[in-house]
Structure 1
């Protein structure tokens, strides 16, 4: 029953244009995600109640860290896409690696880039790696939500074909098959953005930041679960398709996250909360 399909909105790919200067939706999502995440991080650091005393990271330090985590997201995200999703193409066209405006970023690569940024900045500043990881991942769902919404606006990374009778099935303009599909970008926005943010916020309210590594572990675990669930509705990248046993690259890259997240959570619970003296060292 095709008449039940929802027409995909005709979005302008350019979100903001001032003269010859144009910002596309995906770039705007990155900018807003980083700015809103930074503001939220500052708010969390100002609340001594959440940390059981003064936060182990100063406002000046988090301000300086924004530049490094931004570089980690961009460099790691691009490197991850090149290595995990389209390596043969980039081997043949190495100059295309630097054409970020043509798209192609990987969450898992961006996450690894953030890990490197967190470890380097924490070591350089003499602060807790786990606490910096906690505050970074506590705000990360904001960027994930905006990024998935930008995917939807761009009409990219659409879902798998579905029964036309599904009330919210859509035909995406850029889909060469013109099939009714799941709007999986919105599913992922809900899981990786709204749900993940809500769970972490509740954990923070009940004192999770007092146990270094708890929020970091919860983020890694829950994101991995959310990504695997979302991949069941998302169309695999055309150049990769389905891999072993019907798994997708997104699923395979998320499996190690489940293990790492569980290890961090168990470790944070067993280690316990540091005393206020330890927290402000």
Structure 2
């Protein structure tokens, strides 16, 4: 029998008080959102990263957190319903609201967050592209904790891997040793992508609006599509096409398909940002980050 690691069974519920239960998956969302908010507050307080572009105040970021949280949850749920299990929910529409039973899509959550950021930027008369850059900087934090929660929940496990020494036998995946694809994604979409984006911020700052967002979009698409080769496709969908034509005897999955337009959009943003002259690096009036809502001298919406 091939060697395999037994799944470290962890209760998906951290604690419960009567009908109220706190789950690891919900905690991952909370940590990701709050962690990203705290990092954004630090980034907007660093004038050298911004040049002459107008950046949000810390008070703006407090409200942006609410917008993005709603966009991620609503978009993530709607994306799962439309892209991954539409045939089920069309016959059971009431189940769409049963979010505690699971079923979220990153791509849907991304589109929801994009819509929320656009609405917020217009409501506050803030340039939208720098907000996208900020979101792209901190998004890997939420991705990392979300994938760890997927592992704890014994879901989205990988394809059979009988010859891999670190393969895991998941309780819901049968007796077959499988790739711990959730951990692969936590590393690629979380840690590695965060380091890449952080390096871009360190080198270029936010003086080329759209560059950081483009790097995040293209980087996530590559990381997700690569990890899809090791992840078992959703049972209700399977492989969309191209079965048994890849080196890993698989095919094209929904995750790969949805990542393609994100990759193209990310590359377009990178090229668009690099073809524009960088904004001058210089101090911006402290009122821009003091939380009083005052505007800096120059306002260059993008």
TM-score, structure 1 as length reference: 0.95
Q: Distance in 1 between matches of 2:54 and 2:64?
A: 15
Whether contact under 8 Å (2:54, 2:299) holds in the other structure is yes
Match of 1:117, SS state, is helix
Task: List per-residue Cα deviations over 1:132-180 (Å, max 9, x = no partner).
Answer: 00001110000000000000001100000112x31101110012x3211
Q: Distance in 1 between matches of 2:16 and 2:88?
A: 32
Q: Distance in 1 between matches of 2:136 and 2:22?
A: 26
- 1:265 aligns with 270
Match of 1:174, SS state, is helix
Task: List per-residue Cα deviations over 1:189-228 (Å, max 9, x = no partner).
Answer: 0000000000011111112311110111000000000000
Match of 1:89, SS state, is helix
- 1:256 aligns with 261
Q: Distance in 2 between matches of 1:206 and 1:159?
A: 36
Unaligned runs of 5+ in 1: none
Whether contact under 8 Å (1:51, 1:207) holds in the other structure is no
Whether contact under 8 Å (2:169, 2:176) holds in the other structure is yes
Q: Distance in 1 between matches of 2:202 and 2:17?
A: 41
Whether contact under 8 Å (1:170, 1:183) holds in the other structure is yes
Cα offset, 1:271, TM superposition: 1.3
Match of 1:240 among 234, 237, 241: 237
Q: Distance in 2 between matches of 1:155 and 1:110?
A: 21
Match of 1:181 among 178, 183, 188: 178
Whether contact under 8 Å (1:15, 1:28) holds in the other structure is no
Match of 1:15, SS state, is strand
Is 2:176 the partner of 1:171?
Answer: no
- 2:208 aligns with 211
The range that moved more, 53-62 or 6-15, is 53-62
Equivalent residue pairs, number? 278
- 1:40 aligns with 39
- 1:85 aligns with 84
- 2:292 aligns with none
Q: Distance in 2 between matches of 1:278 and 1:214?
A: 20
Whether contact under 8 Å (1:160, 1:235) holds in the other structure is yes
Alignment of 1:130-169 (within 5 A): 130-163=129-162, 165-169=163-167
Q: Distance in 1 between matches of 2:62 and 2:53?
A: 17
- 2:105 aligns with 106
Cα offset, 1:53, TM superposition: 5.5
Q: Distance in 2 between matches of 1:255 and 1:153?
A: 28
Alignment of 1:184-199 (within 5 A): 184-199=181-196
The range that moved more, 63-72 or 271-280, is 271-280
Cα offset, 1:81, TM superposition: 0.1
Task: List per-residue Cα deviations over 1:90-133 (Å, max 9, x = no partner).
Answer: 00100000000000000000000011011111111111110000
Unaligned runs of 5+ in 2: 243-250, 283-296
